[in-house]
Amino acid sequence: MFSPSKDKRKQNQSLYSTAHIIKRKKRLLGDVTCLTNSVVKPVVIKCAQNINLGLAPSYILASLFTGRSLLQLLEANIEVPNEEPGGQMNRAFYLLSNWQHPVLKLPSKYLSYFMVPDSKGEVLLPLELLKAFQKSQDEDLVIEDLETEVKEFIQQNFAGLFQHINLTRIQNHFSHLAPKFGLSRADVAFIADYDLLDNPHCSYGLFDASHIMQKHAQYISSLIKEAGLSGFQVQKIDKKSFFGSHRVLKGYSVSDFFKYCVRQITRNPSTHAELLKSFNFYTFYVVTFLELGTLHRPILSEFGKLESFDLINGNVVIIDKGEQSYRVIPLSQTACTILNAYIKYLKNLISDLRFTYPEISNAIAGALMSDRGLFQLWDSRGIKPYHPNNVYTLIESIFPFPQNWARHYIATMLMNDGVSRNLIEAYMGHAPSGDQLYNEYSSFDFNHNRILSDKIDKHIIQDLNLPLII
C-alpha cells in the first residue's frame, strides 16, 4: 500500500495549511481590487527611475505612498486663507488640511513625512521624489490633463500590467496594506486625508502624529525595499509632531481651574455677596464637572431640567444641539454624588432665602420641580438661566479658556487612550440619532457608553485629582 513518506506528508500538510490561510485571508480581505506585490514592485521601480521625466510618475508614487487621489494631491496646491475658517471647518480641520499641503509644498519641517526608517532606526528620504513634487508647484495643472498623462504613462510603461492598474487601485493600495503596518482606520484617514469632515470629533483631539508617521514610513520603506531601490539620503526623526485641536488644555490647568472654583465657594456665607458668589461658582463647578463627564455642549441651557437626570440608574438625557444631538449618556457614581450634594445645597438655599429673597427662593424651588432649567445664575437682577458666557466673564482674566475646552480635553484623552473614534463620536453626539453607528454604539448597547463614562471618571478622579464637593 502506498504511503507517502513523513516528509512528503509534512510538506502536503504545510501546503494545505498555507492554502487554507490564503483562502481565509482572501475571504477576510474580501477585496479583489487590491494590487499584488508583483504589480506594485515594477510600478515603484519604473516611477522612481522616471521621476524627473514628468509629473505622472511622481503622482503615482505619491498616490501609492499616501492613499490620496490625484484630485486630493492637486487640491493641495489651493491657497489656504490666513484667517481661521469659520463654521464647521474649525482650526483643527484647518491644521489637518494644512498638513496635507507639504506633500506638494514640502517646507523643511515636514520633510520627515517622507522619511523611511531602516533597521538602525534611521530614515531614508527619497529626495528625488521630493524635488519632483517641488517642481510640480510651478506648473498649472488640470486634473483631466494629469489623469490622461498618468494613464498614458501607465500604458506606455506597464503594457503587460495595464488591465490590473488604474488610478483607484493605486490610491487604494495604501488603505489595503495599512493594517499590516499597525495603522488604524483613523490613522489611514489622517494620512490619506479623507473622512475628516464626516468625523468632526477628529478635530477635537490633539495627538502626537509621530507614531502614525513612523508606521507610515515603514509602509513606504517596505515598498522601496521590495523594489530594491537605493540612493536615498539618511536622516533621523527625533521630534514629536502634534496635530489637532488648539483648545486642548494640560491636565494641571484643568486641575488648577477646579481648585480655583472651589476656593471661591464659602461654607455658611455671612454676607449676601458671599452667598451670591458661592452659588454661582458652585453651579459653575457642578456644570463643568458634568460637562467633563458627559461631553455636553456648552451652548444652550445647560443640561435642561432636573427631569433630564436619572440619578437612580445614573444617566442623563442630553439634547444640546437640536434633535439630532439626542443621546443618553451615563453619569458616573461621582457625578451622581456631586449632583445630589448640589441638590441638597439648593434645598437649603430655598429655606435660607425664603424670607429675604423670596423670588430667588421660588425660582430655585421651580428648578427643583423641573419648572425651569436646573442650573441657574444669580446676579443683581435676579435669577437667570445658566449660560457659559456669563460665568466665563468671571474667570477669563485668570483662566482664559476657550468655552468648549471640556469636550476637546476629554476627546483628546480618549483618542490618545486608544478608544474607538466611533464610540467617541456617539458619546459626543456627533452621530445623528437613527444613524447606524449611533444605534450600535450608543442606544443599542448602552454598556459601551458606560465603559467610556467610567474611563473618564477614573481620569478625573485619579489623574487630575479634582477636588470633589460631596
Partner 1 sequence: MQLNSQLKQVDLRRIQIADEAKEAFALSSSFNYQMDSSLLNSRVHANQPWDFEIPFAYMSEGLIRVFAGWVSLQRPFQSLLPRSKLICTRVFEDRPRSLETIAWQYVMHTLSRCQHRNFALAYVAKMVELCPNSTLQKLTKSSSSASIESAVMTLCSETRQPVRTQIKRLAKSKQVQGWRVGNV
What lies within 8 Å, CB to CB, of 28 at 6+ separation is none
The answer to whether 10 contacts partner 1 (rule: CB under 8 A) is no
CB 244 within 8 A of CB 203: yes
Q: Which of 85, 358, 382, 402 binds partner 1 (CB under 8 A)?
A: 358
The answer to whether 381 contacts partner 1 (rule: CB under 8 A) is no
- Could you give the 3-state DSSP secondary structure of residue 140? coil
The answer to whether 271 contacts partner 1 (rule: CB under 8 A) is yes
By C-beta, is 143 or 470 nearer to partner 1?
470
CA distance 48 to 58: 8
The answer to whether 362 contacts partner 1 (rule: CB under 8 A) is no
Fill in the amino acid letter for 155: Q
Backbone angles phi, psi at 316, to 5 degrees: -140, 140
The answer to whether 454 contacts partner 1 (rule: CB under 8 A) is no
Q: Which of 238, 267, 393, 447 binds partner 1 (CB under 8 A)?
A: 267
CB 137 within 8 A of CB 77: yes
CA distance 99 to 171: 19
Return the closest-CA partner of residue 350 out of 383, 301, 310, 316.
383
Task: Provide the residue count of the chain.
Answer: 470
CB 374 within 8 A of CB 367: yes
By C-beta, is 43 or 469 nearer to partner 1?
469
CB of 302 to partner 1, least distance (A): 21
The answer to whether 368 contacts partner 1 (rule: CB under 8 A) is no
The answer to whether 27 contacts partner 1 (rule: CB under 8 A) is no
Cell of 241: 509632531
Q: Which of 200, 269, 385, 432 binds partner 1 (CB under 8 A)?
A: 269
- Could you give the 3-state DSSP secondary structure of residue 241? coil
CA distance 39 to 158: 9
The binding track of 145-174 with respect to partner 1, each residue x by CB under 8 A or -, is ------------------------------
The binding track of 170-209 with respect to partner 1, each residue x by CB under 8 A or -, is ----------------------------------------
The answer to whether 314 contacts partner 1 (rule: CB under 8 A) is no
By C-beta, is 229 or 276 nearer to partner 1?
276
Choose the stretch contacting partner 1; rule: CB under 8 A; options: 166-174, 178-186, 263-271, 448-456: 263-271
The binding track of 242-261 with respect to partner 1, each residue x by CB under 8 A or -, is ----------------xx--
CA distance 254 to 215: 32
CB 321 within 8 A of CB 299: yes
Return the closest-CA partner of residue 412 out of 201, 166, 152, 268.
201
Backbone angles phi, psi at 204, to 5 degrees: -85, -15
The answer to whether 467 contacts partner 1 (rule: CB under 8 A) is yes
CA distance 69 to 53: 21
**Residue count, binding to partner 1 (CB under 8 A):** 28
C-alpha to C-alpha distances, 181 to 161, 187, 211, 223, nearest whole angstrom: 26, 11, 11, 12
Q: Which of 251, 354, 402, 417 binds partner 1 (CB under 8 A)?
A: 354
By C-beta, is 70 or 265 nearer to partner 1?
265
The answer to whether 462 contacts partner 1 (rule: CB under 8 A) is yes
By C-beta, is 45 or 395 nearer to partner 1?
395
Q: Which of 348, 396, 434, 436 binds partner 1 (CB under 8 A)?
A: 348
CB of 384 to partner 1, least distance (A): 21
Positions that interact with partner 1 (CB under 8 A): 258-259, 262-263, 265-272, 275, 348, 351-352, 354-356, 358, 461-462, 465-470
